[in-house]
Amino acid sequence: MALNIFPSKPPTDIFTPDDHVIDRRGRGRTVPMRVLVLGLGRTGTASIRQALKSLGILLPWGYEDTYHMMSASVENPSDCILWQQAFAAKYDRIGTFGRKEWDQLLGDCQAVSDWPAIAFSEELLAAYPEAKVILPWRDIDSWYRSVLQTTLIWSGPGDGLASNAYGFHVCNYNGSVANHLCFFQGVQMFGYGQGYGVILDSHYQIVRTFQSQGGSDIHEFALVDDGRRALVTRYKSRVHDFGDLPNPQGLMTAMDGIFTETDLGTNFVTFQWSSLNHIKPVDPIRPLELENGQAPVHDYFHINSVVKNRDGDYLVTARHTSAVYKVSGADGHVIWQLSNGPDSTFTFRGFMIWGPHHARYRSENQSHSIITLFNNGYNGVSTGANQSSGMVIMLDHTSFQATLLREYGSQEQLGSVSKGSFQTLSNSNIVIGWGSQAHITEYLDDGTQVFNASFVGGGDTYRVFKDGWTGHPVEKPDLWVYARTAQAPIVLYVSWNGATEVHGWRFYLGNGPITSNSSNLAGFKVKDGFETNFTSTEYATWAFAEAVSADGVSLRNSSKVMTWSPGEGLNSSCDEMQCFEKESYSLVRYNLLPDLSGLGAPAQPDAGRLEGVQPLEPKFNPLFIVFAMICGVLSIGLCVRAFVLKGAKF
């Protein structure tokens, strides 16, 4: 009986559209193996895979499919059963793994690239001597920097227990270019919030906070006009006459969507726009219960983004009207509207937008506009698409038609009930933040995926941005020095929160009083992540670390730190590298890897230990909406201000 570890499409698979899992153990070779790409990851293996897959369309024999690390890690994780057998045979001498087994694992592929295949270069060459070999090469320093660039750079604490950061991005401020960080800091309830904008310099010091008159909302805090003015959104309840609508009738409280532009030098508001002054409510059946027990208000518009173009006009996105508006910077009138309603200026050609976020200009002239947006496919009440996606849309101002030029993520089948972002990079790549789905994806312009990440434990992201950044923290590097006993070698752990110019670390050891200036260089290690560890061959009573740039310049030293060793009662819980915390019974722990010694029965996870754990469900339903809102407020907002990530380069 075949072992079926994954009976249906696993939630990790955001790549393949079909709900299927391939058990390769009963398969064999169906196509010849033609190409072995045996270069390390980050040498272009993903791009080569895509090129070979594209040749599968052009050539009669094709290269569909080309096996890659993503084939096993997310697309068909049950492949890991065979990969585990291959590793056991090669490194542990358990069993054998020859041509028959390689044909089972790779029988549907005419090419392989990236890990884990490159760990078996010799075995693959022996199994497929007729295959051509591609060996991509990259300068080792460039390769190493690329490997390091997918790592945490800086994190900072929030201002309160439920304080969140929204829209964290590199920004221009007061005429300076790309050397500040901007974000909104505050709390949100019921889809909007209160707080203030924060501007940090390259030392991660607050240089300015900003709150507009009447308060600031979470949805937009962006600097315009070379960082001299601030665009912010806010929400305000306001009595409105619904008398011309069938239900409700008469005066009712509506939520007004407002944005303002403020001169940061004078704090004068230079422009203000109100949705109720320009957009007529057409859907009153959207109550929003206020937390203080007041009567419900109708959040008919729900402004979630605004951006200014070079002509001084604005692009406004509204979730609840499922619309994008171009607003005149002269008098606030709506120049055009793209929506599914009867007031849309444009007719959709074979597609729709539903509950969009983060609309941005890409290009614009008198005859055409090209905009980008994140289309949730859900507007808080109803569903208008089977999944969320990023869209590039062309608007024809002559024929008044809207054409979908490109859609990103339609095959991932991710359904984001709220939030989301779309960024076009200077190299034309696209970065999608999936909002309530805890994923980040980067694509080439043609839709080829080059990077994907997700947050362990779930949560969500408001917007995701990728940009260049150089940080110069004012704090010293942090160092921890450990030895299991006074006779054991010491282990040093060093990090420098926010520093981007560190190439490596020099480690110095000293004995005697920590006030002594006598120390010896113990060694050097290239930085290998947010935290780098170094093991000395000898014991020392204290140590310090020196940060070094790529050209050998000393950047800064840590403080001198005394070596810590556990006492007798704790020593049994330690090894030569660290001491271990007591395991929490609240942790969900289970093993997806099968027992290699007996593949006769399915792996059955402990139902008791998995209680309450559910797979991600891409379709929309009210329970999931509530769950996503709660997670967004509680899990992300507990104590984290922001994480700065450097995106991967391929």
453 lies in the same domain as 488: no
| Residue 592 is assigned to a structural domain of this protein | no
452 C-beta neighbours (distance < 10 Å), count = 18
Please determine, for residue 191, whether its predicted confidence score (pLDDT) is greater than 60.
yes
**What pTM, to 2 d.p., does this model score?**
0.68
Token readout for 94 is: 């358990």
Mean pLDDT over residues 468-487, rounded? 94
Mean pLDDT over residues 584-596, rounded? 35
Range scoring the smallest mean pLDDT among 123-137, 156-170, 550-564: 156-170
Please determine, for residue 291, whether its predicted confidence score (pLDDT) is greater than 80.
no
Please determine, for residue 171, whether its predicted confidence score (pLDDT) is greater than 60.
yes
Which of 428, 451, 469 represents a domain boundary (last residue)?
Answer: 469
Beta bridge partners of 547: 505, 556
| Residue 559 is assigned to a structural domain of this protein | yes
Mean pLDDT over residues 370-395, rounded? 90
Range scoring the smallest mean pLDDT among 231-240, 601-610, 627-636: 627-636
383 lies in the same domain as 458: yes
| Residue 505 is assigned to a structural domain of this protein | yes
Which pLDDT value is given to residue 520?
94
Range of the domain at 50: 35-149
398 lies in the same domain as 497: no
| Residue 321 is assigned to a structural domain of this protein | yes
User: Confidence class of residue 184 from pLDDT cuts 50, 70 and 90?
Assistant: very high
Which pLDDT value is given to residue 459?
74
- Return the H-helix or E-strand segment holding 543: strand 542-548
Which pLDDT value is given to residue 248?
52
501 lies in the same domain as 360: no
| Residue 540 is assigned to a structural domain of this protein | yes
pLDDT tens-digit map of 311-365: 999 999 999 999 999 999 999 999 999 998 889 999 999 999 999 999 999 999 9
pLDDT tens-digit map of 81-114: 889 889 889 888 888 999 999 999 998 888 998 8
| Residue 404 is assigned to a structural domain of this protein | yes
User: Confidence class of residue 645 from pLDDT cuts 50, 70 and 90?
Assistant: very low
396-405 b/e (C-beta count within 10 Å ≥ 16 → b): ebeeeebbbe
43 lies in the same domain as 85: yes
Q: Are 281 and 298 in contact (CB under 8 A)?
A: yes
DSSP code for 79 = G
- Residue in the block written with tokens 């009712």: 252
463 lies in the same domain as 351: yes
Which pLDDT value is given to residue 249?
56
Token readout for 194 is: 């209160």
| Residue 182 is assigned to a structural domain of this protein | no
Residue 523 DSSP SS3: strand
CATH of the domain at 389: 2.120.10.30
Which pLDDT value is given to residue 632?
35
Which pLDDT value is given to residue 502?
96
User: Confidence class of residue 16 from pLDDT cuts 50, 70 and 90?
Assistant: very low
- Compare 490 and 569 and report the one with higher pLDDT: 490
Share of the chain above pLDDT 70, in %: 77
Which pLDDT value is given to residue 56?
62
372 lies in the same domain as 491: no
Which pLDDT value is given to residue 245?
60
341 lies in the same domain as 387: yes
| Residue 407 is assigned to a structural domain of this protein | yes
Which pLDDT value is given to residue 509?
96
- Specify the number of domains making up the chain: 3
465 lies in the same domain as 482: no
456 lies in the same domain as 521: no
CA–CA–CA angle 150, 356, 291 (5° rounding):
95
Mean pLDDT of the chain: 80
Mean pLDDT over residues 179-207, rounded? 88
Token readout for 449 is: 């995926």
Which of 533, 550, 570 represents a domain boundary (last residue)?
Answer: 570
CATH of the domain at 41: 3.40.50.300
Please determine, for residue 492, whether its predicted confidence score (pLDDT) is greater than 70.
yes
338 lies in the same domain as 371: yes
Range scoring the smallest mean pLDDT among 46-60, 378-392, 410-424, 592-606: 592-606
Which pLDDT value is given to residue 649?
31
Taking the C-alpha atoms of residue 153 and residue 143, their distance in angstroms, rounded to an integer, is: 18
304-337 b/e (C-beta count within 10 Å ≥ 16 → b): bbbbbeeeebbbbbbbbbbbbbbbebeeeebeeb
Please determine, for residue 507, whether its predicted confidence score (pLDDT) is greater than 60.
yes
Highest mean pLDDT among 403-407, 443-447, 486-490, 605-609: 403-407
342 lies in the same domain as 405: yes
- Compare 73 and 176 and report the one with higher pLDDT: 176
Please determine, for residue 611, whether its predicted confidence score (pLDDT) is greater than 60.
no
User: Confidence class of residue 519 from pLDDT cuts 50, 70 and 90?
Assistant: very high
Which of 426, 443, 469 represents a domain boundary (last residue)?
Answer: 469
Which pLDDT value is given to residue 453?
85
Taking the C-alpha atoms of residue 402 and residue 338, their distance in angstroms, rounded to an integer, is: 8
| DSSP-H helix ranges across 61-193 | 69-70, 80-91, 99-106, 121-127, 140-148
User: Confidence class of residue 626 from pLDDT cuts 50, 70 and 90?
Assistant: very low
